Amino acid sequence: MRPQYNVLLCAALLLATTAAQGSDKGAELRDRLKAAASLSSLDDPTLKPWHWQLDVTLFDNDGKNPSTGMLEMWSSGDKMLMHYSLRSEQGTVLRIADKLYRTPGETKQLPLAVFLELQLIHPIPDEVFAPTVAERLLKQNAGKVKVDSIAPTLVAQTNETVSRDQPFSFVLEPGSPRLLMTSENGWLRIVRRSLGMFQAHEVPTDLVVYTNTTTSEEAKTVKLEGMAPDAQAFEASPDMTPFSEPIQVSSGVTATMVLSQDPPSYPIEAKARHAQGTVVFDAIIGRDGHVESLQQVGTADPALTKEADRTIRTWIYRPFLVNGIPVEVKTQIHMNFTFG
């Protein structure tokens, strides 16, 4: 693997400011983003078998109290094995074709392991290339360096670009498909602090996740290498069980998966009563990223509850991929209504 370092440039990305909004060049921008997705993805089943080991550091909400862990992945064709050790929890997930198996025990850290896995081997979700999405180019300054930020946005039925749904943007090196940073929902930034080439794909050898400007996770490559296929390595052990229930995912992780999220309208009758508050739902998000069910938790104003239910059912999420296989997600969704 040949490393390429971009530490200074990537650090400047945290302070990047939008200088000017470029025109929508449609197919040209989409082709460029597709090229970036192809270059940065390492989950192509046609690749030669590989093994990737990373040291992971997790931080508290204030960026302090680091906790060290490990993420390790093996891939061969349509088989993939992931082992993680995060915050005193260990787990193993095995994919064989379209089946998933896991070791017994707690899975609180599994969503975080899957989040890191996606950022490492498939950072640009396929859903941003849907026919209902258009790409817009934002020119940005990262220190003294200019970078390009491509932001997928929904296209209304009138064929007008609707910028209200812009949860993702991808920062690329100008004139290149090299992915430097992903921004999600405006507050989560995944910076590929150093890059390396492996099997003609560009992968992060040093990945940092920021919540606003506070460091929340780091993943540094210890080893990335080709390997000889070993059938026994991809066999389910006797203690492994198939995935049969939705994966419990925190509302914070779920918020990073949003692809389309229209805001609610404040009901007129609720305004007349000066009604406000938070509506809370237990939700199931399906394998296709659509909301399958909502069950209210606690009580709230009936008009606010009805509007929250209607709005949330229109939201679309990035499918939760475990070793490349979509699974159902159980989470909690909060919608705040503040009068004023």
Of the two residues 86 and 228, the one the predictor is more confident about is: 86
pLDDT in the model for residue 140: 64
* pLDDT of residue 200 exceeding 90: yes
* pLDDT of residue 13 exceeding 50: yes
pLDDT in the model for residue 277: 93
Q: Is 244 exposed, middle or buried (0-12, 13-18, 19+ CB in 10 A)?
A: exposed
pLDDT band at 18 (very low <50, low <70, confident <90, very high): very low
Helices (H) and strands (E) in the chain, counts: 6, 24
pLDDT in the model for residue 63: 93
pLDDT in tens, 95-152: 999 999 999 988 899 999 999 999 999 999 888 888 878 887 876 666 666 788 888 8
pLDDT in the model for residue 144: 65
Of the two residues 41 and 151, the one the predictor is more confident about is: 41
pLDDT in the model for residue 205: 97
* pLDDT of residue 15 exceeding 70: no
- Residue 59: CB atoms within 10 A of its CB come to 17
* pLDDT of residue 240 exceeding 80: yes
pLDDT in tens, 317-334: 889 999 999 999 999 999
pLDDT in the model for residue 245: 86
- Token duo for residue 298: 């606690």
Is the dihedral angle over the CA atoms 323, 325, 331, 333 positive or is it negative?
positive
Q: Per mean pLDDT, which range of 66-70, 151-155, 217-221 is the poorest?
A: 151-155
pLDDT in the model for residue 5: 45
Given a contact cutoff of 8 angstroms between Cβ atoms, the answer to whether 253 and 118 are in contact is: no
d(CA 205, CA 219): 8
Q: Which domains are assigned to the chain?
A: 2-241 (2.50.20), 245-337 (3.30.2420.10)
Q: Is 14 exposed, middle or buried (0-12, 13-18, 19+ CB in 10 A)?
A: middle
pLDDT band at 164 (very low <50, low <70, confident <90, very high): very low
pLDDT in the model for residue 141: 63
Q: What is the mean pLDDT of residues 60-85?
A: 95
Residues of the chain with pLDDT > 70: what percent? 86
Q: How many residues in the chain?
A: 340
* pLDDT of residue 227 exceeding 50: yes
Q: What is the DSSP string of 281-308?
A: EEEEE-TTSBEEEEEEES---HHHHHHH
Mean pLDDT, all residues of the chain? 86
* pLDDT of residue 8 exceeding 80: no
d(CA 6, CA 180): 8
d(CA 180, CA 150): 12
pLDDT in the model for residue 21: 47
Of the two residues 297 and 3, the one the predictor is more confident about is: 297
